[in-house]
């Protein structure tokens, strides 16, 4: 009988050697990838490992999680803090970039480690979460700023916390009166759906507050039956779900793949929210598309897929200036373009002048 250590369906794969044992990495690439694994965390959960086809060199799940030697090639424009968290962190673990909301990084580890992660320089196994003292300071900051209407729990992935720990954090945020919305960003319902059990769902609910869960998913194959069931447990408990995806070369950068993903999300009762242009994280150039490519992809969705399937294509401006929508423009020179590319004149607004009596 195959041991648990050898079965990718029973344990998270955390080393290039274990990836090699399961056929995800050829033996001749081990030395080259060892340096990648030393620098950036490796982790593929059983749910994701069982989706990978080792015989397919273009497997979209493998490309998201299996290390690549090209990650050691750092372009001049890339940065360890590509979206500028640090300049907007008044206390450790907290990012206050926008007036009415803050990001609370409760833990610095994830269930899986994406090869395009924009926080890859600070995320990994054993990095832990906020210390009790740091969490107290972050919550004191939130309590002392009444303009903060929403708190976003992120990291890392907050849903890898135990239900007890998660419940404690949510409850402590919820007692702050001016905070009305608690949002969680996570990959867990897709990559480790077994963690979304009844205790986890209960931990996310806070009386008098609106809780939203935003699922990070990049390919329709990630939405397995177990993933869909995990999402349904959250939604059926009254927790709305949105999605965020990253536009990735060779993974979801064609109209059919992207449209299929968006439809699959809507079928799961998850509203597509953001399509992120990939950030300038170190060693990720091979996974980034051009902005013009992304805009053309968004054009391809418009009109051909339901309005429910349309995410907002956004760029997180390097340096900490926040997200801006960068989707295509359909209005120019007094004409508006329809989804087939035809242009139609739209009359300018005219002032209404009442006749003199």
pLDDT digits (tens, 9 = 90+) for 254-304: 999 999 999 999 999 999 999 999 999 999 999 999 999 999 999 999 999
Question: Is residue 142 domain-shared with residue 96, that is, in the same domain?
Answer: yes
pLDDT at 127: 72
Cβ-contact 284, 36 below 8 angstroms: no
Examine the domain organization and report whether 247 and 118 are in the same domain. yes
CA dist., res. 219 & res. 190, Å (int): 11
- pLDDT, tens digit, 9 for 90 and up, residues 65-88: 999 999 999 999 999 999 999 999
Q: Are residues 215 and 298 in the same domain?
A: yes
pLDDT band at 2; cut points 50, 70, 90: very low
Position 30 in a domain: yes
* Annotation marks residue 323 as catalytic: yes
Residues 164 and 108 placed together within one structural domain of the fold: yes
Q: Are residues 207 and 295 in the same domain?
A: yes
Active site (annotated) includes residue 316: yes
Tell me, yes or no, if 253 is annotated catalytic.
no
pLDDT score, position 67:
97
- Residue 166 in any domain: the answer is yes
Question: Of 17, 20, 85, 98, which one is the catalytic site residue?
Answer: 98
Residue in 68, 117, 271, 305 annotated catalytic? 117
CATH number at residue 100: 3.20.20.70
**Could you confirm whether 117 is annotated as catalytic?**
yes
> Quick one: angle between helices 163-174 and 132-143, nearest 10?
30
Q: Is 110 a catalytic residue?
A: yes
Per-residue pLDDT tens over the stretch 301-336? 999 999 999 999 999 999 999 999 999 999 998 999
What's the pLDDT tens digit per position in 113-162? 999 999 998 887 767 789 999 999 999 999 999 999 999 999 899 999 99
Beta bridge partners of 246: 276
Q: Is 97 a catalytic residue?
A: yes
Cis peptide before 156 (omega within 30 of 0): yes
Helix (H, G, I), strand (E, B) or coil at 103: strand
Number of structural domains, the chain? 2
Domain membership of residue 55 (yes or no) is yes
Of the residues 231, 268, 279, 288, only one is catalytic, namely: 279
Q: Please check the confidence at residue 3 and state whether its pLDDT lies above 50.
A: no
User: How would you class 223 by CB atoms within 10 Å of its CB: exposed for 0-12, middle for 13-18, buried for 19 or more?
Assistant: buried
| Six-digit token string for 216 | 């990070």
**Which entry of 40, 59, 97, 305 is annotated as an active-site residue?**
97
Q: Compute CA distances 48 → 154, 270, 347, whole Å.
A: 21, 20, 52
Q: Are residue 46 and residue 112 in the same domain, yes or no?
A: no
Domain boundary among 40, 72, 104: 72
State percent of the chain over pLDDT 70.
97
Supply the pLDDT for residue 38.
93
Is 181 within the bounds of a domain?
yes
Residue 271 domain flag? yes
**Residue 98 known to be catalytic:** yes
Residue 132 makes CB contacts below 8 A (sequence gap 6+) with none
Note whether 243 and 292 are same-domain residues: yes
108 and 17 in a common domain: no
Instruction: Give the Cα separation of 323 and 118 in Å (integer).
Output: 14
CA 22 to chain centre: 27
pLDDT band at residue 7 under the 50/70/90 scheme: low
Structure tokens at 317: 């401006």
Q: Is 236 a catalytic residue?
A: no
Its domain, for residue 24, covers: 4-72
Same domain, yes or no, for 253 and 146? Answer: yes
Give the pLDDT of residue 32.
87
Asked if residue 252 and residue 131 are part of one domain, the reply reads yes
pLDDT bin (cut points 50, 70, 90) of residue 8 is low
Within a domain: 346? no
pLDDT of residue 4: 39
In this prediction, residues 176-186 reach a mean pLDDT of 98
Asked which of 46, 72, 98 is the last residue of a domain, the reply is 72
Of 12, 41, 72, the last residue of a domain is 72
The pLDDT of residue 322: 95
User: Same domain, yes or no, for 166 and 278?
Assistant: yes
Q: Mean pLDDT throughout 176-199? A: 98
Catalytic residue, from 40, 59, 110, 271: name it: 110
Active site residue 101: yes
Catalytic pick among 17, 101, 180, 226: 101
Asked if residue 244 and residue 142 are part of one domain, the reply reads yes
Per annotation, catalytic residue among 105, 115, 119, 271: 119
Q: In this model, does residue 206 exceed pLDDT 60?
A: yes
**Catalytic residue from among 114, 231, 268, 309:** 114
State residue 6's pLDDT score: 46
How does the average pLDDT of the chain come out, rounded? Answer: 94
Assess whether 200 carries a catalytic annotation. Answer: no
Please report which confidence band the pLDDT of residue 1 belongs to, taking 50, 70 and 90 as the band edges. very low
Question: What pLDDT does 195 receive?
Answer: 97
Residue 274 covered by a domain: yes
Q: Does some domain include residue 144? A: yes
């Amino acid at each position: 009988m195959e041991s648990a250590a050898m079965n990718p369906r029973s344990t998270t794969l955390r080393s290039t050697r274990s990836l090699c044992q399961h056929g995800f990495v050829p033996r001749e690439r081990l030395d080259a990838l060892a340096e990648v694994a030393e620098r950036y965390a490796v982790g593929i959960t059983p749910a994701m490992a069982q989706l990978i086809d080792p015989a397919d060199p273009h497997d979209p799940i493998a490309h998201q999680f299996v290390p690549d030697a090209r990650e050691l090639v750092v372009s001049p424009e890339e940065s360890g803090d590509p979206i500028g968290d640090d300049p907007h962190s008044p206390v450790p673990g907290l990012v206050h970039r926008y007036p009415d909301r803050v990001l609370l990084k409760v833990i610095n580890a994830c269930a899986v480690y994406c090869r395009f992660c924009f926080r890859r320089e600070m995320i990994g196994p054993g990095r832990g979460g906020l210390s009790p003292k740091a969490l107290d300071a972050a919550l004191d900051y939130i309590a002392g700023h009444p303009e903060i209407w929403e708190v976003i729990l992120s990291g890392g992935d907050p849903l890898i916390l135990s239900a007890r720990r998660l419940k404690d954090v949510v409850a402590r945020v919820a007692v702050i009166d001016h905070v009305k919305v608690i949002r969680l960003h996570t990959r867990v319902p897709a990559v480790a759906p077994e963690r979304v059990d009844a205790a986890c769902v209960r931990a996310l609910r806070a009386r008098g507050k609106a809780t939203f869960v935003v699922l990070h998913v990049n390919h329709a194959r990630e939405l397995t039956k177990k993933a869909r069931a995990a999402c349904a447990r959250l939604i059926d408990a009254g927790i709305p779900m949105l999605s965020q995806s990253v536009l990735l070369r060779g993974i979801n950068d064609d109209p059919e793949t992207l449209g299929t993903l968006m439809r699959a999300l809507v079928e799961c009762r998850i509203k597509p929210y953001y399509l992120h242009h990939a950030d300038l994280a170190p060693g990720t150039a091979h996974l980034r598309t051009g902005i013009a490519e992304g805009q053309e992809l968004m054009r391809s969705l418009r009109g051909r897929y339901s309005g429910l399937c349309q995410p907002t294509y956004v760029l997180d401006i390097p340096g900490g200036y926040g997200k801006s929508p960068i989707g295509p423009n359909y209005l120019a020179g007094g004409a508006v373009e329809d989804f087939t590319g035809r242009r139609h004149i739209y009359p300018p607004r005219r002032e209404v002048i009442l006749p003199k009596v």
